[in-house]
Amino acid sequence: GAGVSQSPRYKVAKRGQDVALRCDPISGHVSLFWYQQALGQGPEFLTYFQNEAQLDKSGLPSDRFFAERPEGSVSTLKIQRTQQEDSAVYLCASSFSSEWGEKLFFGSGTQLSVL
């Protein structure tokens, strides 16, 4: 596709439910990032993939958060047993390479509301 695609655009979950958020990066992009953005804050780093390898998951807030990119393209961020503090916009970004100056292309995000 022309850009980074994320789905669903909006997700409402009851506390305790599991959710799965999908990211389809730009074709051929090696690097993929997940960010969490709370209202009024900047994007907070969650995890990074280079192709299918998850090279950094230091930003995942707890072991309820899990991300994968099994074939080096589409990625899924899974949140188990959601809690109210998980409510945020989850942004996915990709870049062509992992070079220092490489520009990030963001998807429109998934807005998660946990009730």
Positions that interact with another protein (CB under 8 A): 31, 33, 35, 40-45, 48, 50, 55-56, 58-59, 91, 98, 100-101, 103-104, 106-109
How many whole angstroms separate alpha carbon 40 and alpha carbon 57?
24
Min CB(87)–another protein separation in Å = 15
Instruction: Give the residue with the Cβ less far from another protein, 14 or 103.
Output: 103
Q: How far is the CB of 77 from another protein (least distance, A)?
A: 16
CB of 60 to another protein, least distance (A): 12
Residue 58 or 84 with smaller CB distance to another protein: 58
- Provide the 3-class DSSP secondary structure of residue 84: helix
DSSP 17-67: --EEEEEE--TT--EEEEEEE-TTSPPEEEEEEETTEEEE-TT--STTEEE
Confirm if 79 and 18 have CB atoms less than 8 A apart. yes
Looking at the chain, how many residues does it have? 115
**Closer of 80 and 104 to another protein (Cβ):** 104
Closer to another protein by Cβ: residue 17 or 30: 30
